[in-house]
A = this chain, B = another copy of it.
Amino acid sequence: MASELPSMTLKAIGIVRSELKQPARQDCKEIVSDIVIDSSLTEALDNLDDFSHIIVLYWMHRATNRQVQTKVRPMARQEIPLLGLFSTRSPNRPNSVGKATVRLLRRQDNILRVEGLDAIDGTPVIDIKPYIPGYDSVTNAKVPLWITNQ
């Protein structure tokens, strides 16, 4: 089947500027970063600040040099058994696209200041979408114990 699966080329629309310089297993909820969007797309950011939160898709460029493992131990927690890669948020994926939901603090021209982005300084940004609760969130979602116990 692999031979039938298409490839596609993406071009970054911007870059993250953050105090986070290395990938870290830390809580990023309070980190403030700037997303600098290519100035040719400044106008496409209009009206975004009518939303309190945005979804950022980004390219986890540091993760792409490693070989992908189909079984991983999330966050290197030894008490968790090996899990299927797609049941985790491990950055080391076949396509290293990260997805974060962050608070939009301010938009100024082509720069978005956001809170809670877990992407390191220099991360290429692929897309920005408005966060729409009725579409993006789920009530009463079920998760396994290794998530609730972290």
A12-B5, A101-B137 known; A70-B84 Cβ under 8 A: no
Q: Does A23 contact B (CB under 8 A)?
A: no
- A127 to chain B: which residues have CB within 8 Å? 86, 93-95, 97
CA distance A87 to B129 in the complex (A): 6
Within 8 A of B (CB), among A45-94: 45-48, 50-53, 55, 57, 59, 61, 64, 70-71, 83-89, 93-94
CA distance A124 to B44 in the complex (A): 26
Partner of A9, one of B8, B15, B137, B143: B8
A45-B84, A124-B6 known; A94-B13 Cβ under 8 A: yes
Give, as a whole number of angstroms, the nearest-CB distance from A1 to chain B.
5
In the complex the two chains form, is B47's CB within 8 Å of A83's CB?
Answer: yes
Task: State the A residues within 8 Å of B (CB).
Answer: 1-2, 4-15, 36, 38-41, 43-48, 50-53, 55, 57, 59, 61, 64, 70-71, 83-89, 93-95, 97, 99, 101, 103, 124, 126-133, 135-138, 140-144, 147
